[in-house]
Each structure stands twice: as C-alpha cells, then as structure tokens.
Amino acid sequence: MIEWSIETLEFLKNYHIEHRDWLDHFAEFDSGHLSLIGANGDMDLYHGRLRATDAKGQVTLRDVPDDHYRRYFSEGVERWTYLKFPYLTHLGREKGWNRVGPLARVNICDRIPTPLAEQERLFFKEFSGGLPNNRSMYYHWARLIEVLHCAEVMKNLLHDPELLGSDLVVKGERRSEGIGIVEAPRGTLIHHYEANEKGKLTRCNLIVSTTHNNEPMNRAVKEVALQTMNGQHEITEGMLNGIEVAIRAYDPCLSCATHAIGQMPLHVEVIDAEGNLVKERTRG
C-alpha cells in the first residue's frame, strides 16, 4: 500500500504540473479551513482539538476541546435545501464557513507524523506557494497524501504490542451524554448524543462532513457557472460535467447530510436577474 500510494502520488503530481493552469483556476475561491489537530500541531484523525484558519492561514479557532463545539458553531438554514450551513459563530454566517476534509487537514496541520507523508506535505505546501491551498481540485492530491500517511500508520500499528494483547474491553463510567469528533475521510464529523437512564436516546445532533462542505460546494458550482456560461443561458454538456467535477472533489454524501434515501439526480436551473426561470436540465 505504501508503494502504491507513492506511485499514485507521483502520477498526480506530474498531472498537476502538466495541467496546472486549469487545475489552479477551476472552482478556486478563498475559504476558511477546519479540522482536528493533534499534539504539537500534528495531523490526527481520531483525537485532538478543533482548529480553523482563514484563507491566508490566520487562526480563527484555536485548538478548542471537541466537547465545547456548541460554544463556537452555529448552523444556518435556507428554504431551498435540506442541508444546513455550519459556521463559526463569532465570525458570522458570511465569513465563518469552512472547508473540511483532506485539503483542510493538510492546510491546517503543522506536521504529518509519518516521514513519507510529511515529505509529500512539504512538497504540496511549496507547490501551493507556502500558503493555504484554496483550490477545489487539490482535494484529490491532499487525499492521496493522507492515503500514504494511513498506510504508514497501519504498518506501525501491525507491530504495536497492545493490538496483540488480550485486553478487548475497556470499562468506564456510564454517562447520559456523549460527544465524539473524528476526521472522517470526507472531513470533520461531529456526533452528539443524550440518553435517559434506560439508554434510550432523547436528543442527538450530527454535523457531518458534507454539511460543513455545503457552502464550499455551492461556491464551487457558482464558480463553474461563471467560468462556463459567459453571459449565455445555454446549459451545455461541458457545464454539467464541470459542475459534477467540482462537487465530486468534496466527495459528498447527501444521504448522510440530509437523512434522505433515494435518487438524487443533478438538476440545473438558470435564473435571470429578475428571478425568472430561463433554462433547466436534469441528468440522472
């Protein structure tokens, strides 16, 4: 897996070098970034504290405990979607939204604690000019750096004596409330549950990765429309392909984010300045 990850990374790095002009400008826009951060600023997918930065790398949320998330996050609601819009309360809805996922994690961490992946992070950062990368198509490159990191961690874990021991159960205090935050492949995943004395859930709140990325995905679609329409009303095949490419960079799970089941086709509408529907097209 380590060898495969390195080979695939080399392929993608060469692809970025060859096609940098369109990869740099396709669905590119400034944003904040959010992820868990481990001790000493290390990338950590399962433990740590919440950190956020703005598009220039300035810290906007400084390493807060995961069980304090309610103090810092709010969720906006719109009539036209089932997905909410999380944002940092102190920055407000317009400025407080963040990307999450591989790109955010690579942007935010100070170091990846495995040598090969750290070497790739440093190259990625240099390629990005030393600043946070705000380009949607770079999600795939960051994702491969994380794949390499995970392969290195797996190799180490296979030699961890604790995994070869006989202790299978950890006992602890029974609690009526539990909060857990991890870095899922798609990004920061928040689960919060409350239960009564019989263990029945009385309240739950989930802010999943796709919900965090709701605002960035909408921004990505807007950028594709601006780049491909050029003042025209036609919905071309190239425009539909561009929208799908932009959305898929974020690896969304709409079922997770909306708790809905069923087909979710791509439906595109063109609205003029007066709010009139002038064109629409559905795929899927």
Domains in the chain, number: 1
Whether 139 is in a domain gets the answer yes
pLDDT recorded at residue 26: 94
pLDDT recorded at residue 237: 87
Direct distance between the N- and C-terminal alpha carbons of the chain, in angstroms, rounded to an integer: 35
Whether 59 is in a domain gets the answer yes
Whether 209 is in a domain gets the answer no
Whether 52 is in a domain gets the answer yes
Biggest alpha carbon–alpha carbon distance for the chain: 69
pLDDT recorded at residue 140: 97
Given a contact cutoff of 8 angstroms between Cβ atoms, the answer to whether 37 and 51 are in contact is yes
pLDDT in tens, the chain (284 residues): 999 999 999 999 999 999 999 999 999 999 999 999 998 999 999 999 999 999 999 999 999 998 999 999 999 999 888 899 999 999 999 999 999 999 999 999 999 999 999 999 999 999 999 999 999 999 999 999 999 999 999 999 998 888 877 877 777 888 899 999 999 999 999 999 999 999 899 999 999 999 999 999 999 999 998 888 877 778 888 888 999 999 999 998 876 666 555 566 788 888 888 989 999 988 87
Whether 41 is in a domain gets the answer yes
Given a contact cutoff of 8 angstroms between Cβ atoms, the answer to whether 110 and 196 are in contact is no
Whether 224 is in a domain gets the answer no
Strands of 201-207's sheet, edge to edge?
177-184, 187-195, 201-207
Backbone angles phi, psi at 46, to 5 degrees: -125, -20
Cα separation of 284 and 268, whole Å? 12
Whether 64 is in a domain gets the answer yes
pLDDT recorded at residue 80: 85
Kindly state the tokens that stand for 240.
């539909």
pLDDT recorded at residue 258: 64
Residue 150 belongs to domain spanning? 2-75+86-157
pLDDT recorded at residue 58: 97
Whether 135 is in a domain gets the answer yes
